[in-house]
Structure 1
Amino acid sequence: MNIQNNGLPGAARVLRQTFGTTILGLAVLAAFAPGAVHSQTIKIGVPVPLSGSNANAGTDIVDGAKLAAARINAAGGVLGKQIELVPEDDACDAQTAVQAAQKLVDAGVAAVAGGYCSSAALPELSTFHRAGIPYVLDASTNPKLTEMGYDNVFRTIGRDDEQGPFAASFIKNSLHAKRAAVIDDNTTYAKGLAQNTVEALKKDGVDVVYADSITPGQMDYSPTLTKVASLHPDVIYYTGYFSEAGLIVKEARQLGLKMTLMGGDGTNDPTLMKTAGPAADGMIITTSPLAQFLSGAHGFVDDYTKAYGHGPGPYSVYEYDAVGVTARAIADAKSASPAAIIAALHKIKDYPGVTGTIGFNPKGDRAVAVYITIIVRNDEFAAYQRQDASGKWVTMK
């Protein structure tokens, strides 16, 4: 499946065939050049961390949104209007997130596609709900986001209560671990994933010898690691973010810990390897499939690399689909009214996203969410294992 043909009018295919991928790179630059604001636009907000330790992930998400907007605009836009992105920095902080969300409401956005830290997405969602604006999440996975009964929230990625049992199954049935330690960073996302994993591990008969939080931002986690090591787990599963994960992995190996080190999807950023160095080799991560491991995303990876000079990070492709499915809803509704967009999003069942077919259940969650495991090899992420239709763990090719 070629990304440029996903749900696009014929004009997009003509542009692709005539000008090649260069048109997308030019469109990205033009859309964000000084003076490029259109008088007739449909604004889509993108709240993400653009400062602080998670800024790398936020920038990656914005870049995915830009690529999607460039594709849509090159094909003529939606309802005869261009898509105008409005990024806002929420810094992965609840208070800052409220301010960022209100700025987007005041800017007159018709919809919002973004989110990274669930701790920021939760207060953002409350603001957007009061304003009646749809919020399509690309990376925020805490179950509470779609359990509050709000009709304006949607998600192009899975939930922590889906990833937790997946991680537990891998730990028991692929690693054959008998004893596990689970560490979180006390944030909304990390605690949610940790709790769901611990519950599933216990249900599966794995002895959880340690389940506790660290404080993010510290310079030394060796006391926690020493305590964990004394409990002799076969595997340590860290559910926080990549900035701390790199240091934890590095210190674990410096202390001589030999057990399998794992991380949740918040650790799947190249910064992990930059921080941990060679110690990261062999670390296993549970995650939604990265773009480079999706058969339908080769065109996306090529276009992203040409536009930005490096490969896509983990959530850019889910943001690309979040913007794309939002544009599809606007087109289906034949209106840029937030209420009409919300109604149209609820009706979408088969949007041909780059990450696969997207449809939403009544709560707004993606109807079918997929997870895989990846492994760090030679300073890069490589596909590792997935579950087949029968639930058996198989090596990915």
Structure 2
Amino acid sequence: MKKSLVSVFSLTLLAVFGANARADILIGVAGPITGPNAAFGAQFQKGAERAAADINAAGGVLGQQISIRIGDDVSDPKQGISVANKFVSDGVKFVVGHFNSGVSIPASEVYAENGILEITPASTNPQYTERGLWNTFRTCGRDDQQGKVAGDYIAANFKGAKIAIVHDKSPYGQGLVDVAKNVLNQKGIKAVIYEGINVGDKDFSALIAKLKQADVSLIYFGGLHTEAGLIMRQSADQGLKATLFSGDGMVSNELSSIAGDAVIGTLNTFAPDPRKNPAAKDVVEKFRKSGFEPEAYTLYSYAAVQIIAAGISKAGSPDDAQKVANSIKTGESLSTVIGDIRFNSKGDVTRPDYIIYEWKKGEDGKPTYFEK
């Protein structure tokens, strides 16, 4: 009799703990939580956590709650692989991340081999979705889209300018400028300088001297706000009067903290401000009440969690990420805070999504980016 009671009790415990083990849907959030690009990591984390909280408050997904796991890749490909392997060992099936294309691309291979779906809010290099992997999605656009927008804008608005093309040698930075360069070349416009810098460089005096000697009036830059801000500030200090034009790696107000007033007049491409989308109104208010401004990729991260949740619901289970991936590659419209999204068979959004921004001082006297 005792044996029987113990057995029943043990089975009951197993059932309870087994149910609890399945209670949470684990979503990893991977990006530069620390390091020079931590502002973007914060956007990823805040966006995903807010989305999870809102979905959980509404009853979760198929009766299960979402639990967020954070992975800090410090914008480093090797660390990104470590984060990916940690997510694998933790049983994560879905990842929002990474930020840098140079991290997302190698990490996605680890995820593909281990049955993990990845949605990046920010990695724009075309190769991320061009390799035929089943698991790669993005809520942002691609560099072959924003590079063309930039090239067309430069050709139309900087006629006769002496153009320098500078990049940080990363898949994102060099990939972006090469698209714009090709667009300009097709229009008969040649850059007077094509130069690479290193991520983490602090002193750009030699580069600026070269730009001054060539009488450059426009710098098209491929890279992130950390190096761009230093180039702007040092250019102003050394008397180089040139407009800097770049991509979506500029969309952090930290840029003005680095560049100071030299940021005024800077141009960049990015999507139409998602904070202005009517679908985001309530979410934006929640962020602002909490003291966090949901700029740049915050809502793209929020949308990534929404898409994962919608895919799980359509698939009927969170257990098979490949089935979830197939369920959101159908071309069916998915409602998100950044608007309705459809994915093609590669995992790219089907709408072109880039406009031009200019950095100016706002009503509070602080520089930020405004749609032109």
Q: Any residues of structure 2 matched to 1:170-209 within 5 Å, and which? A: 170-176=153-159, 178-209=161-192
Distance in structure 1 (CA, Å) of the matches to 2:352 and 2:139: 8
Query: Amino acid of the residue matched to residue 369 of structure 1?
Result: P
> For 1:68-87, what per-residue CA distance to the aligned partner results, in whole angstroms no more than 9, with x for missing partners?
11110010000100011111
Stretch of structure 1 that moved more, 169-178 or 324-333: 169-178
Post-superposition shift, 1:161?
Answer: 0.9
Post-superposition shift, 1:191?
Answer: 1.0
Structure 2 counterpart SS, 1:347: coil
Poorly superposed stretches of 4+, deviation over 4 Å: none
Q: Any residues of structure 2 matched to 1:12-161 within 5 Å, and which? A: 40-161=23-144
Matched, 1:367 2:354: no
Distance in structure 2 (CA, Å) of the matches to 1:84 and 1:38: 12
Distance in structure 2 (CA, Å) of the matches to 1:370 and 1:133: 27
Pick one of 209, 220, 245 that aligns with 1:237. 220
Change (3 A) 1:294 1:305: same
- Asked if 2 retains the 8 angstrom alpha-carbon contact of 1:143 and 1:161, the reply is yes
Post-superposition shift, 1:295?
Answer: 4.7
Distance in structure 1 (CA, Å) of the matches to 2:55 and 2:284: 17
- Paired residue for 1:313? 295
Q: Any residues of structure 2 matched to 1:190-339 within 5 Å, and which? A: 190-307=173-290, 309-336=291-318, 337-339=320-322
Query: Amino acid of the residue matched to residue 383 of structure 1?
Result: F
TM-score normalised per structure 1:
0.84
Query: Amino acid of the residue matched to residue 191 of structure 2?
Result: V
Post-superposition shift, 1:229?
Answer: 2.3
Structure 2 counterpart SS, 1:364: coil
Q: How many residues align?
A: 348
Structure 2 counterpart SS, 1:376: strand
- Paired residue for 1:23? none
Post-superposition shift, 1:97?
Answer: 0.7
- Asked if 2 retains the 8 angstrom alpha-carbon contact of 1:178 and 1:206, the reply is no
Distance in structure 2 (CA, Å) of the matches to 1:48 and 1:326: 18
- Paired residue for 2:4? none
Query: Amino acid of the residue matched to residue 283 of structure 2?
Result: F
User: Which runs of no fewer than 5 residues in structure 1 stay unpaired?
Assistant: 1-36, 386-397
> For 1:301-329, what per-residue CA distance to the aligned partner results, in whole angstroms no more than 9, with x for missing partners?
2211123x131231111111111011000
Query: Amino acid of the residue matched to residue 71 of structure 2?
Result: E
Structure 2 counterpart SS, 1:297: helix
Structure 1 counterpart SS, 2:34: coil
TM-score normalised per structure 2:
0.89
Distance in structure 2 (CA, Å) of the matches to 1:328 and 1:221: 47
* Higher gyration radius (CA): 2
Post-superposition shift, 1:38?
Answer: 8.2
Q: Give the root-mean-square deviation of aligned CA atoms.
A: 1.7
Post-superposition shift, 1:372?
Answer: 1.3
Distance in structure 1 (CA, Å) of the matches to 2:339 and 2:212: 40
Query: Amino acid of the residue matched to residue 309 of structure 2?
Result: A
Post-superposition shift, 1:41?
Answer: 0.6
Distance in structure 2 (CA, Å) of the matches to 1:118 and 1:328: 25
Change (3 A) 1:296 1:188: same
Distance in structure 2 (CA, Å) of the matches to 1:205 and 1:123: 36
Post-superposition shift, 1:381?
Answer: 2.4
Distance in structure 2 (CA, Å) of the matches to 1:162 and 1:77: 35
User: Which runs of no fewer than 5 residues in structure 2 stay unpaired?
Assistant: 1-19
Structure 2 counterpart SS, 1:86: strand
Distance in structure 1 (CA, Å) of the matches to 2:74 and 2:192: 34
Distance in structure 2 (CA, Å) of the matches to 1:369 and 1:352: 17
Structure 2 counterpart SS, 1:44: strand
Change (3 A) 1:345 1:227: same
Change (3 A) 1:99 1:171: same
- Asked if 2 retains the 8 angstrom alpha-carbon contact of 1:157 and 1:369, the reply is no
Change (3 A) 1:335 1:348: farther
Distance in structure 2 (CA, Å) of the matches to 1:380 and 1:210: 29
Distance in structure 1 (CA, Å) of the matches to 2:41 and 2:254: 13
Post-superposition shift, 1:190?
Answer: 0.6
> For 1:165-196, what per-residue CA distance to the aligned partner results, in whole angstroms no more than 9, with x for missing partners?
11101111134354321111111211111111
- Asked if 2 retains the 8 angstrom alpha-carbon contact of 1:171 and 1:177, the reply is no
Distance in structure 2 (CA, Å) of the matches to 1:221 and 1:78: 50
Structure 2 counterpart SS, 1:208: coil
Distance in structure 1 (CA, Å) of the matches to 2:158 and 2:21: 54
Structure 2 counterpart SS, 1:215: coil
Change (3 A) 1:342 1:384: closer
